[in-house]
Structure 1
Amino acid sequence: MGNASNRETTLVDAALRSISALLPASWSLRTEADGQGGPLRADALAVLTGSDGSTVRFVVEAKPSGASVGVLLPRLREMAVQFELPVLFVTDYVGPALRDALAAEGFSYADGTGWVRVSTTAPLILLTGRGADRSPRARESSAVARLDGIAAGRIIRTLCAVEVPFGVRALADRAGVSPGSVSKVLPTLAREGVLDRGGRGAVMAVRRRALVRRWVQDYSFRRTNLSLRHFIAPRGLDRTQSRLAELEQPTTLTGSAAARRYLPDGATSVVPLRLLALYSSDPEALAAELRLVPADPAEANVVIAAPQDERVLDMPLAPAALVIADLLTLPGRADAEAEQLADALALTDPAWKD
């Protein structure tokens, strides 16, 4: 096993500090050199010592955030076989999609922000810690830190609809944004582990469910969109929906009612329709046409917003990714509907499975 680079050494040191901070005072964690050869090289061996003197050794793989999950997991599997030791993956940030993938494979992980999952069966150990909700941005990086802008929304909606591989310029053209905007968003998404990029920066894989989950850390139907208004439909939601087709002004359906349109024939929503969510350039004028009555948010069964991105009004039904994002940020049991819709999309598009 050769010497690790300065970058890898920094990653290992920071991640092991995160683990050490969670250990009881009578436990210790250290690294040691090892002479094992073979086709693969490890970046370190970590030795965890318990209060009774028993030890567990981990073979350590260190990579900066943004490593392709499709490349990383096979390498970790090979290392586990070659070294015949449990594997500990360390990086500067482990995003939620990568955390789930590593845990599903039984690999331990740690990062410099505090995310830790160290698991062994002999002896039985499970150590967990929570870190940052978002990937820290390097000072020299031009990548965006938040994903609540118009360009970010267009890019994310496009990533949830196109087939990969997809280059930066092609993605920019499809999303209707500048290549510079794409170049600022993709590094953030790669560090979060929700997409993989190729050697020339092209998007090679997208984990769409995880991508939308990451999006709603910054995006919210209530906070991001404009002129939000709440109403009651005195004649019921079915009557209100039937009138939407008669309207002249552009109106886009989202939320629970939109999710039902995406479900396969014969599928029933997991919850009754209690809130009708709509986009309109003029929520007050739309409410007047539908003869809705203003209401407090707690009592309303209709919510209308002017979309942050007016392009949303070009279609009567919001894109599936936006529908899921809105469900995840609307009140009630909308999370269950979001998961049901993602499960339905995954039946024909495997990119929605993760």
Structure 2
Amino acid sequence: MLDDALRSIVELLPASWRFDERREVALRGVRLDAVVELIGPSGDRASFVVEAKLSGSVSTTVLLDVLREHARRAGLPVLFVSDYVGPSLRAALIAENISFADATGWVRVISEDPLILLTGHGAKRSPQTRVASAVTRLNGIAASRTIRALSNTDLPIGVRELANLACVSPGSVSKLLATLASEGVVDRDERGGVHTVRRRALIRRWAQDYSFAKSNRAVSYYIAPRGLDRAVTQLSDRGGIAVTGSAAARRILPDGVTSVVPLRLLALYAAEPIALPRELGLIAAEPATANVVIAAPQDKDVLPGFNDLSLATAPVALVLADLLTLPGRSDAEADQLMEALAKNDPAWNE
């Protein structure tokens, strides 16, 4: 891991620069994984103490404390290296001005004297070979239920408690949490429970694997010839339907807040996705021209019962994931909704 991460730095260095390293050294009474130097053509040197840890082996909060203490005791800036540095951890390290490199190619090395800014881009998600017991794709029902629970439950929460809340097996929860912890989306305690969830990062990580069109069933596209407002009105006396995407976001936003974009696509989950278009008088269309999309949900639990005739709204986490993956995806609407959620829940700030 250390070799691969340091190689990511070496490959980015200009030809006139040299890279030097010493492994397993002691400096000012501190045992270090390594000390590395970037040496310029005129002999200027930027030195770093190296701290190497597997992704997810400690929480982000604990890791930052360790890195700060290493820098203080060694009297040198720290270079954190890992097999994978996920987006949330990258953001936390950047905020602390801590240099990092991973085995997939993510690099940010900074120095004020000599002046250095070295950056490289790596993998979008953690390599699948890293942790055999971890879930590598977050696109199944168990992942959906667990993510929805993590997006609104009180913390801290243990694995079994979370499994009961999400109605999935503890084994499925443990595997999912291993992936989320390795990518800096959640922080866990020594017993495996979750004490921190970065909810924006959670949704965006989910949207890497989940998509409205591919994860749900019987997805079909239509045009509402009388307009979307008329179609929504017609839904008010039918059960077994939940609205998602842009129309749902408008329902969740606080009163008086206007969506950043006009409503162009009405996205629905329906227990009877074949019969509903006929009842609404919709016309079949291609995805590029449609203004209505209907699907049978991957998880039927997101739907209300047939006797509930008030139009339901899909769970907030699912609405956000759908905003990020529906045709004409709207990151702006997702960001607006998460900003609104963050006003009452700081976990939505990152």
Q: TM-score range by the shorter chain?
A: over 0.9
Quick check: 1:114–1:131 contact (8 Å CA) kept in 2? yes
SS where residue 118 of structure 1 aligns?
A: strand
Q: Which residue of 1 aligns with 2:320?
A: 324
Q: Scaled by the length of structure 2, what TM-score is found?
A: 0.93
Q: Which residue of 1 aligns with 2:242?
A: 252
Quick check: 1:154–1:175 contact (8 Å CA) kept in 2? yes
SS where residue 268 of structure 1 aligns?
A: coil
CA RMSD of aligned residues (A): 1.6
Q: 1:182 to 1:105 in 2, by over 3 A?
A: same
Quick check: 1:231–1:301 contact (8 Å CA) kept in 2? yes
Q: Distance in 1 between matches of 2:96 and 2:150?
A: 26
Residue 279 of structure 2 is aligned to residue 283 of structure 1: no
Quick check: 1:169–1:179 contact (8 Å CA) kept in 2? yes
Quick check: 1:271–1:333 contact (8 Å CA) kept in 2? no
Amino acid at match of 2:271: S
Residue identity (%): 61
Amino acid at match of 1:351: A
Q: 1:114 to 1:298 in 2, by over 3 A?
A: same
Q: Which residue of 1 aligns with 2:83?
A: 92
Q: Distance in 1 between matches of 2:329 and 2:322?
A: 12
* Structure 1 residues 112-148: Cα deviation after superposition (integer angstroms, max 9, x where no partner): 1111111222222111112122212447722111111
* Structure 1 residues 180-220: Cα deviation after superposition (integer angstroms, max 9, x where no partner): 11111110111011001110110111001001111111101
* Structure 1 residues 299-322: Cα deviation after superposition (integer angstroms, max 9, x where no partner): 111111111111111381111111
Structure 1, unmatched stretches of 5+, are: 1-10
* Structure 1 residues 266-301: Cα deviation after superposition (integer angstroms, max 9, x where no partner): 111100111111111222211112221111111111
Q: Which residue of 2 aligns with 1:292?
A: 282
Structure 2, unmatched stretches of 5+, are: 306-311
Name which of 293, 302, 314 aligns with 1:303. Answer: 293
Q: Distance in 1 between matches of 2:74 and 2:301?
A: 53
Residue 214 of structure 2 is aligned to residue 214 of structure 1: no
Quick check: 1:79–1:87 contact (8 Å CA) kept in 2? yes
Quick check: 2:50–2:78 contact (8 Å CA) kept in 1? yes
The alpha carbon displacement at 1:35 in A equals 4.4
Quick check: 1:16–1:29 contact (8 Å CA) kept in 2? no
Tell me the matched-pair count: 342
Amino acid at match of 1:267: V
Residue 104 of structure 2 is aligned to residue 104 of structure 1: no
Q: Which residue of 2 aligns with 1:335?
A: 331
Alignment of 1:131-210 (within 5 A): 131-138=122-129, 141-210=132-201
Q: Scaled by the length of structure 1, what TM-score is found?
A: 0.92
SS where residue 27 of structure 2 aligns?
A: coil
Q: Which residue of 1 aligns with 2:17?
A: 27
Q: Distance in 1 between matches of 2:235 and 2:264?
A: 17
